[in-house]
Amino acid sequence: MAPSDCFAGSMKAGGTTRVWVRRGLGLLGLAVAVLLGLSHFVRLRYQSRIVPLAVAPEAPVALVFGAGLAPGAVPSPVLAQRLDAAIALWRQGKVRSLLVSGDNSAPFHNETRAMRNYLLERGVPEDAVVGDEAGLSTYDSCLRAHSVFGADRAVLVTQRFHLSRALFIANSVGIDAWGVAADEGRATPWRYTVRETLSRVLALAMVLLEVEPGSPDAQPATAPR
């Protein structure tokens, strides 16, 4: 083979590689665009249902999502913020009961008990607190609130970055849900924004696929009121 033939073959191979690289980058860009578009759809779908605590609609129950525990098995600062907002809703007569939904799947990690104790210590009567010990995820908490605890209308209490996803799930599984941001007026850390971008797409998929909750047979720790 002449040197010129080798050079031509090398150029052809390099050109083919560049074509495939461009195609790969194009497909990656398309996938990112689709992901961002779906996440944006979920974020905006029930955006109008996020309201200040002072004008929250009345509902039979407020659904409070777990958010981890601090040392000493007490609510983390994020969770305490949610519980404080729920207490305010109850004190203002916006809701009659508080459904605290936590993940108790690990030993010595009982979110529901910690949430209940926090509420009782701050004057919420025991008969106004309902516990779900199988709230393994936002999806599970919403689905079980409706199917196990019979919630048809509720006010969701969590941080604003989380509300869009929670509202999308709750309204999609049969709850007429509104949302109150426990961190109203505060900036959202960037790491939560990034995480929610992906989590919203996952939530959309779970709703469309009608995924069963992680603990479908778990019964209420307390009867709904």
Average pLDDT of the chain is 87
Are residues 79 and 66 in contact, defined by beta-carbon separation less than 8 angstroms? yes
Distance separating the N- and C-terminal Cα atoms of the chain: 87
pLDDT in tens, 6-27: 545 555 556 788 877 777 777 7
Q: What is the mean predicted confidence (pLDDT) over 105-121? A: 90
CA count, 13 A, side-chain hemisphere, 150: 8
Q: Which residues pair with 59 in a beta bridge?
A: 95
Ranking 95-99, 103-107, 137-141, 209-213 by mean pLDDT, the lowest is 103-107
pLDDT in tens, 35-94: 889 999 999 999 999 999 999 999 999 999 999 899 999 999 999 999 999 999 999 999
